[in-house]
Amino acid sequence: MPRILDGVAIAAAIKQEVAEEVRALAAQGVRPGLAAVLVGNVPASEIYVRSKVQTCADLGLYSELITPAATVSTEEMLALVAGLNARDEIDGILIQLPLPAQVDTKALLDAVAPTKDVDGFHPINAGRLQAGRPALAPCTPAGIIEILKRSEIPISGRHAVVVGRSDIVGKPAAMLLLNQNATVTICHSKTRDLGAITRQADILVAAIGRAGFITPEMVQPGATIIDVGINRITERSEFDLFFAGDPKREATFARRGSTLVGDVHPKAFELAGAYTPVPGGVGPLTIAMLMANTVRAAKMRRGL
C-alpha cells in the first residue's frame, strides 16, 4: 500500500516549532508581526486570509488585516506598501492575490521590501534562492521540501520532475530541490512526450493547475508523488471520471455538491510509494510556512 504523507500533521509540528520560537523571541523583547492586505470582497480569499490572521494569534505573532476597497488604485496600494515597509513592528507583508484588474500586481509585489517579502515573490529573493543563498522562499515550495524531509524521503541524488513552471510554485520548487542535490527536470504544457519524462521521476511534483492531469501511465511505480493542485469539481461527469465507486467521496459530493481533486488522477496514487492527498497534503503547509517565514524575517531583520 502506498504511504500517505500527512500534511496536516507536518503542518501542526511546524506551527508548534514556530510557537516555541515566538516565545523565545518574546524573551528578547521581539514579537514577529505580519500585515495581511486583502483588497475588495472575494469570499474565498477572505476565508483564507482570516485563517492566516487567526493562525498568527494562535501562535503568538502580531498581525494586522488591512482591507482596501475593490476600487483602490495602484498608486494608493504602493503608498500602503511603502508605509508597511517603514514600520518596524511589521516583519512580513502578505498581499493576497488575485488583485483587481486596475492594480498593477507586478509593480506592487516588487514594491514590498525583500526583507519583509514572506511570500518569497520578490525578484531579489528569487535570485537569492537560485544562487543558493539564504532567502525567504515561497511558502508552498518550502512546504514541499518540509514534507519530504520530515517524511524521511531521500532527495539528494534522486530524479525530481516538476510539472508546472509558475513563479509561485513550479520554478521555486525546482530550485529548492536542486539546492537539496536532486537532479531536476522542469516540464510544462508544451513539453513533448511528457509521460516519458514523468515516468523517470523518483519524486514527481504536480503543479500545473489541471484536474487529474497526471494519469497512472505517467507514473513510475514506487515514486513519491507531491500533488500541489487544488481543483474543485461540481459536475457529475467529472466526479465519475475521478471518483466513481468511492463511497467517502460520494458522500461528500452529495452533501456539498462539490469535491476537490488535485493535479494527479486518484488512480495514479495506487502506483506510488508515497503521496500527498488532496485535501490534507501540501495545502496545510502553506500557512505553516508563512508563519515560519514571518519569524525568520523577524530574526533576519534584527540579525538574530
* Residues identified as active-site: 52, 96, 119
Place of cell 536542486: 178
When computed from its CA atoms, the radius of gyration of the chain, rounded to whole angstroms, is: 20
Largest CA distance in the chain: 58
Supply 208's cell numbers: 500545473
Cα–Cα distance measured from residue 242 to residue 211, given in angstroms and rounded to the nearest whole number: 9
Kindly give the pairing relationship between strand 183-187 and strand 92-95: unpaired
Those residues whose C-beta lies under 8 Å from the C-beta of residue 112, and which sit 6 or more positions away, are 81, 85, 93, 95, 121, 122
Q: For residues 270-288, b (16+ Cβ closer than 10 Å) or e, as one string?
A: ebbebbbbbebbbbbbbbb
**Contact present, 90 and 33 (Cβ < 8 Å):** yes
**Contact present, 134 and 124 (Cβ < 8 Å):** no
Cα–Cα distance measured from residue 169 to residue 156, given in angstroms and rounded to the nearest whole number: 20
